[in-house]
């Protein structure tokens, strides 16, 4: 992929170059889609700077989930106003998650560091 960027990056392409670059990109996508990988069973779905959905399977993860819910939860992420403790719990849940962490808006997957930044930096 980097050879395609090196060859074509920052240039105005001819029709033939565009076709070659597009085909190389499509091949790279096919290779990635065919890759086999697994994550843990856990997931966290984030929206509006808070939890939209989650499923943590560890003892600690379930305890954190129960505490989060016990502190009060709105039916929709948009109306959820997390307390400081709830925000701290979400950050701990991110650390505990052994699966995927994803944005409900964009479908983007977060690293744990990026998820924490999203939660801490979100302004409503």
Q: What is the pLDDT of residue 76?
A: 67
> 31-63 burial by CB neighbour count: b if 16+ within 10 A, else e?
eeeeeeeeeeebbbebbbbbbbebebeeeebee
pLDDT > 90? residue 89: yes
Q: What is the pLDDT of residues 29-80, one digit of tens each?
A: 888 887 776 778 999 999 998 899 999 999 999 999 999 999 877 666 667 7
Q: What is the pLDDT of residues 9-36, one digit of tens each?
A: 777 888 998 898 889 889 988 888 877 7
The domains of the chain are located at 2-33, 43-121
């Amino acid at each position: 992929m980097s050879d395609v960027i090196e060859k074509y990056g920052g240039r105005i392409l001819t029709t033939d170059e565009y076709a070659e670059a597009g085909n190389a990109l499509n091949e790279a996508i096919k290779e990635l889609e065919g890759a086999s990988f697994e994550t843990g069973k856990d997931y966290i779905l984030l929206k509006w700077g808070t939890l939209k959905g989650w499923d943590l399977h560890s003892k600690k993860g379930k305890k954190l989930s129960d505490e989060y819910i016990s502190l009060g939860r709105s039916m929709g992420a948009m109306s959820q106003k997390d307390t400081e403790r709830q925000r701290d719990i979400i950050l701990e849940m991110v650390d505990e998650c052994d699966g995927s962490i994803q944005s409900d808006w964009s479908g983007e997957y977060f690293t744990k560091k990026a998820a924490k930044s999203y939660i801490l930096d979100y302004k409503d």
